[in-house]
Amino acid sequence: MGRLIEIKLRKKGEVITVSGFPERSIPEIIRPTGDEFGVDLTAYAVIYAEFGRFGRDKAAELQGRAPSAIIVYKYEWHNGWGEGVLLPENFNLNQVRFYKTSAQKEEEEEDERSRAAEALRLGILGAIPNVHVHMVHGHAGDVVKAEIGPRQEAFSLSEGWHVYATSIAEAQASVEKKIGTWQEWNERAIKVFVRHSGRNHEGGIEIRPSPTNSDNVEVCCDYNTRKWVFLEKIDGNWVECCN
């Protein structure tokens, strides 16, 4: 199936847009070339019509009565609708403008955002060791943002665990501020997990840091029973208690 072509035309003095014409239904002379999917026919008087069966013949009859107009028509075809465009004999291609549709522009903008996001992700990974980076996809027009976390045993789903950045420099500064806390939590989580579970950690160890106090953190020591150990740093020493 070919691409769908958008045709912009005049109707009763107003500019309207008709979307979704199959490329094969449009005369080759006005098919957009390259990466343009829109055809602006507003320089011409255009008759837009819908017919039942034998729509092609009826469109030709209509063109005979309005020879200087472009006929854009739909007609009944098997179990659906067919489309077509008839051009006048004095048709001048110089009066036709090809353009990119709004859907194309949105797609191009999204592609550009994706490329910028991937470039930022790779740039951060190249500049900062031992981190993982995920891109936060917001709404169109939003600034591309990276979510950065440590590549280590301890991980968290809690808010405030990751840092966010819109540039490599911002990422480096944010990680530099947080990396000491990440490493301290990781070291403590491994020790607590091994001591309370009686086995070495396999894979990640889930922790729940306090969003308001970096000296409070919970460590999950048993995923089956959801046993958590609460840690609090008091006077530089970690104090534990089981929930």
pLDDT digits (tens, 9 = 90+) for 83-116: 888 888 888 888 888 888 888 888 888 888 899 9
How many domains does the structure of the chain reveal? 2
Report the C-alpha gap between 32 and 24 in whole angstroms: 12
Same domain, 17 and 73: yes
For residue 77, give the amino acid letter: W
Same domain, 88 and 188: no
Same domain, 168 and 237: yes
Same domain, 30 and 116: no
**What would the mean pLDDT of 143-165 be, rounded to a whole number?**
91
pLDDT surpasses 50 at 147: yes
Same domain, 77 and 8: yes
Mean pLDDT of the chain: 84
Same domain, 150 and 192: yes
- H/E segment holding residue 107: helix 102-127
Note down the domain range covering 36.
4-100
Report the C-alpha gap between 56 and 66 in whole angstroms: 15
Same domain, 83 and 172: no
Same domain, 40 and 152: no
Among candidate residues 85, 100, 115, the one where a domain is terminated: 100
Same domain, 238 and 123: yes
Among candidate residues 100, 135, 153, the one where a domain is terminated: 100
Q: Residues near 133 by Cβ (< 8 Å), separated by ≥ 6?
A: 121, 124, 125, 146, 147, 148
Among candidate residues 52, 67, 100, the one where a domain is terminated: 100
Same domain, 84 and 114: no
Same domain, 96 and 143: no
Same domain, 95 and 131: no
Residue 1 pLDDT level (bands cut at 50, 70, 90): very low
